[in-house]
Amino acid sequence: MIKTVEIADLKERARRRVPKMFFDYADSGAWTESTYRANEEDFRKIQLRQRVAVNMTDRTLESTMVGQTVSMPVALAPTGLTGMQHANGEMLAAQAAEEFGVPFTLSTMSICSIEDVASVTTKPFWFQLYVMRDRDFIYNLIDRAKAAGCSALVLTLDLQILGQRHKDLRNGLSAPPKFTPKHIWQMATRPQWCMEMLRTNRRTFGNIVGHAKGVGDLSSLAVWTTEQFDPRLSWNDVTWIKERWGGKLIIKGILDVEDAKMAAATGADAIIVSNHGGRQLDGAPSSISVLADIVDAVGDKIEVHFDGGIRSGQDVLKALAIGAKGTYIGRAFLYGLGAGGKQGVTEALEIIRKELDITMALCGERDVQVLDRNNLYKSGLETKPRMAEVKKKRARTAGA
């Protein structure tokens, strides 16, 4: 058994436990995967400012994301096929997040349905929406999320068409898996995964099968999902979605300052700076490399969140210091889920929390909400201080 110290340990455990086609789905990007790699690599260019002989007692990581109190400013990102990393994966991850005090975001392309997750949680979770051509299906999906008590809708705008993901194409990815010799071998070498999957009937896209027109069996599902993502999606669609939803709205997939300004003008509650984990436009910049410019452009108009490349609590701190008010982990929690189910997700969150707490203390801070660019050195990424942040920190420090 690999001793679990960091997220990389969970990743290795998951690699040994999850069939290759599903592990690769979580651990890959589009085309050459240059953007996928940059999401992690660019974090290393940011240096932390160490402080000594400061009071490190009574530290707190508690914060808020779109008005919701969180035990630390980290949410579980919406990830497709989560229930193929581990049986009933979305349900287990949602329970772990709820117990930890952080938001869980359910993907439209989840294996467990909205109703499945609602049946095992006692507090509201968030729901992520893809816009399909079938508007009646989208109306119904939004209404189902409302009926389940979801407290925020995360509208993803960067998947109008599917990016080319070479590993998925080579693996012949499907849910449930096809019974080809290659896939049978992959599953045969992962007996524990197989036994757990045999004990559940949740093996396909639970939010779609039985809910969308013409999708009453598995054979039509792949064709339907390929044809249904709407390439005509526009900013005008945000208006009717916001009206239909009527609650907190978060717009995901912003990587450009002009798009950030357009998103802020919609009246949404937050945006997520994200390149879809490097799974859409390969060659686009890393999320962390554009965060400062977007915060500077719209941070006083809309809450800015961050997603992409977080593999440690130090990465969380760097994003917060640049100006994000909340962060999302996708692969980090998927590795935990694949490695050990609900307990593995909890382990991932505990690792992130411990690393964030220790790093914050060594940077001379006691409150995660006062982190700003003064906690960073100028490096390969732009991290110039913002005067508003400087004044805010001085005021909070004076009142401590």
- The C-alpha atoms of residue 215 and residue 224 are separated, in whole angstroms, by 8
User: Is 279 annotated for ligand binding?
Assistant: yes
Which residue reads 């996708």 in tokens? 330
User: Is 252 annotated for ligand binding?
Assistant: yes
User: Is 307 annotated for ligand binding?
Assistant: yes
User: Is 397 annotated for ligand binding?
Assistant: no
Pick from 103, 326, 151, 113: nearest CA to 249? 151
User: Is 253 annotated for ligand binding?
Assistant: no
- The C-alpha atoms of residue 21 and residue 170 are separated, in whole angstroms, by 9
- The C-alpha atoms of residue 81 and residue 15 are separated, in whole angstroms, by 16
User: Is 156 annotated for ligand binding?
Assistant: yes
Out of 166, 183, 211, 276, which one is annotated catalytic?
A: 276
User: Is 311 annotated for ligand binding?
Assistant: yes
User: Is 168 annotated for ligand binding?
Assistant: no
Measured CA angle at 384 (ends 296, 362), to 5 deg = 115
User: Is 16 annotated for ligand binding?
Assistant: no
- CB atoms < 10 A from the CB of 322, how many? 28
Looking at residue 177, the DSSP 8-state letter turns out to be P
User: Is 274 annotated for ligand binding?
Assistant: yes
- The C-alpha atoms of residue 43 and residue 352 are separated, in whole angstroms, by 15
User: Is 25 annotated for ligand binding?
Assistant: yes
User: Is 323 annotated for ligand binding?
Assistant: no
User: Is 335 annotated for ligand binding?
Assistant: no
User: Is 107 annotated for ligand binding?
Assistant: yes
User: Is 353 annotated for ligand binding?
Assistant: no
Q: Read off the tokens for 356.
A: 């964030």
- The C-alpha atoms of residue 272 and residue 291 are separated, in whole angstroms, by 10
The amino acid that residue 333 corresponds to is: F
Q: Read off the tokens for 396.
A: 């909070």
- The C-alpha atoms of residue 263 and residue 254 are separated, in whole angstroms, by 8
Partners of 129 in beta bridges: 155
- The C-alpha atoms of residue 106 and residue 127 are separated, in whole angstroms, by 5
Q: Is 183 a catalytic residue?
A: no
Rg (CA), the chain: 20
User: Is 310 annotated for ligand binding?
Assistant: yes
Binding residues for FMN, by number, are 78-80, 107, 128, 130, 156, 252, 274, 307-311, 330-331
- Specify binding-site residues: 25, 78-80, 107, 128, 130, 156, 165, 252, 274, 276, 279, 307-311, 330-331
Binding residues for glyoxylate: 25, 165, 276, 279
Catalytically active residues, by annotation: 276
